[in-house]
Amino acid sequence: MKPLEGAGIWSSQLRYGEAGAIGEAAAELEALGFRALWIPDTGGEVFDAVERLLSSTTTITVATGILNLWMHSPEETAAARDRLTRDHGDRFLVGIRRSLRAAPGARHPAGARYPVLPTYPPGNLLLRWHPDAAVEADHLTV
């Protein structure tokens, strides 16, 4: 993926709302010269929302800002990235960070309590969950 340049928009309205209006807004923002659209991930089908934005535009980068690591398995994320890149070119950016801590005792569906983020393949990020990693406020095992 080429480096992002220019101005972008982060908007929850581009994620939640009527699909037709979201598509029209995305196309208009692209026509106005915006270079990236960032959408939140607070639940629901984030990759479907990314698909909607990519399908409504031709050149703009669409990014998660940020992907909730507690809600998506590494396999789901990698498969979505591969599919979206295959179908729309190299315009999907998986924006991540260590997400908000889950509720005490909560576990990721894959069985892990905390994410581990190795690089795979070189230059791209693959999310992997480490089942024995402890949940600590500001600690991330890499």
Burial of 76 (C-beta count, 10 Å sphere; 0-12/13-18/19+): middle
**What pLDDT, in 10s, does the model give residues 78-89?**
999 999 999 999
Check whether 34 has a pLDDT greater than 90: yes
| Beta pairing partners, 38 | 10, 63
pTM: 0.73
Of 12-16, 47-51, 56-60, 66-70, the poorest mean pLDDT is in 66-70
What is the pLDDT at residue 111?
Answer: 52
Residue 50 to residue 14: CA distance in whole angstroms: 9
Spell out the domain ranges in the chain: 8-100
**What pLDDT, in 10s, does the model give residues 80-135?**
999 999 999 999 999 886 655 555 555 555 555 445 444 334 444 433 334 443 33
> For strand 36-39 and strand 8-10, is the pairing parallel, antiparallel, or unpaired?
parallel
Architecture of domain 8-100: 2-Layer Sandwich (3.30)
